[in-house]
Chain A
Amino acid sequence: MDDKGANIDLLFRNGLKDYEVLPPSEVWTSIRPAIRKKQTPFVLLRAAALVATVLSLSFLAYRWSMEITSGPGNPVVALNEESVAPAGGPAIFRQQVQQNKVENDNPLFAADASDVIPPVIVVRDESTISASEEITFPSLSAGVFPDGISRGRTDLMEVSYPGINNLLTEDYTMVLVPSTGPADKQERWTIAALVAPTYFTRFTGSHNELSRQIMDSEQPLFSYSGGVALSYKINRRVSIQSGIYFSSVGQMVEGITAFSGFQKYDNTKGDHNFEVLTANGTVYTSNTDVFLLNHGLEGRMVTQFTNDVFDPVKAELRYIDNSLRQSFSYLELPFIVRYKLIDKTLGLNVIGGLSSNLLVNNSVYTNIDGGKYLIGKTEGVNSITFSSSLGMGMEYNFTKSLSLNLEPTFRYYLNPFNELSGLKFHPYSFGIFSGLSFKF
């Protein structure tokens, strides 16, 4: 029998081996617009992500390099408030303000000397100042500031005075503090615990009707992400961050009714009885007691137990639910760069980076009496996916070390969860991370 069969097999195999038939020309004209449409959004998104990353990194590098070059280069004027010592620091000169003269010179000046803020000038070292040196000082009009006026670099005007002795006769208070002495100990490390509810969805690069119908029949479930992040402050504005997060995403597949009690009718002894096509892959049932009935999208379920060969109602199977729930859990290992835009009590950061996500759980279940009834799992799901993220981080500093963080973050998955089904869906999510961070 086998030999006879092999003979006819060979006839067809050899006879058709190199056979070619020219397809009608309209086939290519149908393919051409389809591949153009499909490629455009994905290519554009990739290009946009690349451009955004390059621009962000260039901007960060530029700002970083500017700070490095301008930081220690100016021995006189402090660049930022952090490096300016408090007025109670090692003052060299202190004089009484001659209030009357001040008032005459500038009507904005406060009447009371206690309302007057002395200008702060920082020099590299006390020892560099001698009586014969000329030092740069603020002008008289800028020398005393009412409350509320910024004391940043732009408030300092350079005026040359003939010598240190002349200072003793001037009518303003001056504080000279060392700036290159032992620096304040900076807290470079931050540990944070963050958690976020996330809205998870996806778009399809596919144009066919089946993809659209599948997307319409699936609804995202409550998803969340949370974990511990450790960041290191490279300089005042730039930090790098890593950590470990656990995230759970899922979706509900509508139009599939699940029944239990099918085991006694199941004569397949092992293999899965039902396959359900979803955007995340094909669900294979592993629970032999479950019976699925497709009353939604035609062609999405493959089974030998179709409704016309087996009726779950006549067989008195127990109804469970009319939808399936796919659940995926991931361990995320992010690499994030944070750039501090505002460094105040309420700080603001731009956050961007990449994350590798390891699949640790893949299950399909349906709800039964408030519990979960396992159906099976989704086949062919990528065990590792990569995502890019972009967000804004708000940081409220309770104390110097403890902060409250709020970080709205958009995440785009660079590779789809599943590519086997031929239907490509690109997931993305939006979440608002919140938590506490501690600097040390």
Chain B
Amino acid sequence: MPEIKNIINGCLKGNRRDQELLYRRHAAKLYAVCLQYSGNDEEARDILQDGFIKIFENLVHYRDEGSFEGWIRRIVVNTALEKYRNKHNLYRVDDIDQIPELDAQPDNEDYAGLEAIDLLDIIRELPPKYRLVFNLFAIEGYSHKEISKMMNISEGTSKSNLSRARVILQKRVGLYTGIGKKVSNG
């Protein structure tokens, strides 16, 4: 299997085979990311398409200083953010005084049986702004300060959105596994 460096060099020279190779190697993983950030498949396809075009355009700037996978994932996440920004003007949501509490949660092992595809379905049912904040915080590992800059919202709004997202997710997970019922009856 060719080294990623060789594939990148080939892409920079305009080699069609290397371009396709790079796409085939990373498309499945990145498409899963796109699905996480989008509400429907069409939107996910658009993000993947625009994200890959940016990846090819910006390959010349890749410095080989970090993981290539991390680099292309960041580009796709940023593309998803741009799409969101273009689609929704960001309204201020300053309701941080009403952060909901999570119900008592079972241990991780109680979630056994939840497949990745179920998790993906659950996360995609979130309202867009909650989905974005949850993904950026919980999956990508950004801080609220960073998220507030990326989404042009306050840190308080970011925290509030995350809390709301967690509450919704917990309920949905419960419905999938029956735990929710157990907890609420509990």
Contacts and interface: CB of A to CB of B under 8 A. Distances in A.
Nearest to A9: B138
A51 interface: no
Interface string B105-148: 10110010011110110010000000000100111000000000
Contacts of A38: 53, 56-57
Contact of A306 (B27, B91, B105): B91
A32 to B, nearest CB: 8
Interface residues of A, number: 45
Interface stretch (A18-26, A69-77, A94-102, A401-409): A18-26
Contact of A20 (B23, B28, B85, B86): B28
A20 B49 contact: no
A66 interface: no
Contact of B91 (A9, A31, A309): A309
Nearest to A207: B53
A4 B28 contact: no
Interface in B87-103: 87, 89-92, 101-102
Contacts of B102: 1, 4-5, 8
A283 to B, nearest CB: 13
A304 B92 contact: yes
Contact of B31 (A5, A15, A21): A21
B86 A9 contact: no
Interface residues of B, number: 60
Residue in B29, B53, B82, B107 with the greatest tally of chain A CB atoms within 10 Å: B53
A185 to B, nearest CB: 50
Residue in A12, A206, A210 with the greatest tally of chain B CB atoms within 10 Å: A12
A370 interface: no
A304 B91 contact: yes
11 contacts: A8-B166, A11-B108, A12-B138, A21-B31, A22-B28, A23-B28, A26-B45, A27-B27, A304-B91, A422-B79, A422-B82
Interface of B: 14, 16, 19-20, 23, 27-29, 31-32, 35-36, 45, 48-50, 52-54, 56-58, 61, 78-79, 82, 85-87, 89-92, 101-102, 104-105, 107-108, 111, 114-117, 119-120, 123, 134, 137-139, 152-154, 162-163, 166, 169-170, 173
Given A1-B102, A19-B29, 14 more contacts: A8-B105, A8-B169, A13-B138, A19-B32, A20-B32, A24-B45, A34-B53, A205-B57, A210-B86, A303-B89, A303-B152, A304-B89, A419-B58, A422-B54
